[in-house]
Amino acid sequence: MFIVTGCAGFIGSTLVDRLLQEGHQVVGIDNFSTGQRRFLGSALKSPAFKLVEIDVLDLVALKLAFVGGEAVFHLSANADVRFGTNHPSRDLEQNTIATYNVLEAMRVNGIRKIAFSSTGSVYGESLVVPTPENAPFPLQTSLYGASKAAGEGLISAYCEGFGFQAYIFRFVSILGERYTHGHVFDFYQKLRTNPTRLPVLGNGRQRKSYLYVQDCIDAIFLAMDRARDKVNIFNLGVNDYCEVNDSIGWICAELGLKPVLEYSGGDRGWIGDNPFIYLDTSRIQTLGWKPNISIKDGVINTVKYLQRNEWVFEARS
C-alpha cells in the first residue's frame, strides 16, 4: 500500500490516478487547504483508494494514517514560492517540519522508502547552468528553496541514521492538467478578468523550463524502479527552455487574444525569483527516461485544461 501526501494537489492527484491505474492500493492524505476534491473524482470511485483528511502537521494523526504503508510519496507542500516573505513561517512549517513529521510517521510504522518532491529552487541562483545534481553547495535565495533543501537534508539523514531509502526529485515548474498555480495559471486568470491587457511581473525575458506532469510521473516511476542507491537524487526537467514571453504568446494564441503587455519589476518577477532555473537532466535520462511533451505543447495542454475547467479559478480564489 502506497501513501501519497498532498493527494488532492496538482501532481499528487495525478500520481494517485497513475498508481491506481497500475493496480496499487493507495492511501491519500490531504487537508484540502489548496488541494481540490474534484481532482480525486476518479480515485474516490476506486475501492483501492482511501482518503484520509488530516494535516501533515498533526503528527499523531499522521502516524495512524501511515499504518500498513510500504512507501510514501511525500508531495504535500506550500508551493506558493512567490509570497514566501509575506509569511516567513509557512515554508518552515509546511515544507520542513511537515517533512520531519512524515519521516517520523514512517519510522514508527517501519516504512523506509520515500519519494520526495523537491525543487530546482534548492540550487538558488546556480552559477552552473544547466545545473547538475552535484552542483556546488548552493546559497538559498528563497524561503521555499531553503525549506525544501532542509527537507532533503532531513530525508538523507534518516537514510543514514534509520536505514531509509529515498528518491528525491528536484522539479522545474510542472505543467499540465490540474495545474493550479504559476505562470500559465496566473496569466490565464488575469486574461479572464481583462482580455485587453496583461500585467507581467518582470520583463518577460525570464527563462523557464517546464515539464509536463505525466512525463514527471513517468520519471518518478522509472527512477524508483531502476535506481538502487540509499539516496537517489534526480533533476526532472526538459532539455529546453522558453521565455515567459514565449509562454504568453502560446497562451494568447490558444485563447485568440492580443492583450497589451504591461511589464513591471525589472529582470525578475519577485524577490527570490530565480531568473533561470534550467536543470541538467542527464542523470535521469541515463536511466532511460525522456520527456514526451514539449514545453509548448505542455503550455497549450494546460490552457486547454483550464478552458474546460474554469471552476478551478473559483476554487482557488
Catalytic positions, written as ranges = 144
Which residues have CB under 8 Å from 209's CB, separation 6+? Answer: 120, 172, 173, 237, 238, 240, 241, 242, 277, 278, 279, 295
Neighbours of 232 (CB within 10 A): 21
Q: Is 107 in the site for a copy of itself (CB under 8 A)?
A: yes
Give 157 or 253: the residue with its C-beta nearer to a copy of itself. 157
Contact with a copy of itself (CB under 8 A): which of 89, 193, 196, 286? 89
The reply on whether position 145 binds a copy of itself by CB under 8 A is yes
The single-letter DSSP state of residue 149 is: H
Task: Closer to a copy of itself by CB, 279 or 306: give it.
Answer: 279
Distance in Å, CB of 103 to a copy of itself, minimum: 8
The one segment of 66-74, 98-106, 210-218, 254-262 that binds a copy of itself by CB under 8 A:
98-106
DSSP state of 95: I
User: Minimum CB separation from a copy of itself for residue 48, in Å?
Assistant: 32
What letter would DSSP give residue 97? I
Of the candidate residues 48, 60, 64, 157, the single one contacting a copy of itself (CB under 8 A):
157
Binding residues for a copy of itself restricted to 194-233, rule: CB under 8 A: 231, 233
Q: Give whichever of 100 and 221 is closer to a copy of itself, judged by the CB atom.
A: 100
* Contact pattern from residue 232 through residue 261 relative to a copy of itself, giving x for each residue in contact according to CB under 8 A and a dash for the rest: -x----------------------------
Using CB under 8 A as the binding rule, whether residue 137 contacts a copy of itself is answered as yes
Min dist. Cβ of residue 311 to a copy of itself (A): 34
Binding mask 271-300 for a copy of itself (x = CB under 8 A): xx----------------------------
Place of cell 527516461: 289
Residue at 297: amino acid letter: D
Task: List, in sequence order, every residue forming a beta bridge with 52; answer none if it has no partner.
Answer: 29
Question: CA–CA separation, 235 vs 212, rounded Å?
Answer: 14
Confirm if 32 and 1 have CB atoms less than 8 A apart: no
Q: Under a CB-based contact definition with an 8 Å cutoff, are residues 120 and 279 in contact?
A: yes
Run of H or E residues at 3: strand 2-5
The DSSP secondary-structure symbol of 248 reads H
Place of cell 492583450: 259
From residue 32 to residue 71, what is the string marking binding to a copy of itself with x (rule CB under 8 A)? Answer: ----------------------------------------
Sorted by sequence, the CB contacts under 8 Å of residue 37 that are 6+ apart come out as: 8
Which residues of the chain form contacts with a copy of itself (CB under 8 A)?
84-85, 88-89, 92, 96-97, 100, 103-104, 107, 122-124, 133-143, 145-147, 149-150, 152-154, 156-158, 160-162, 231, 233, 271-272
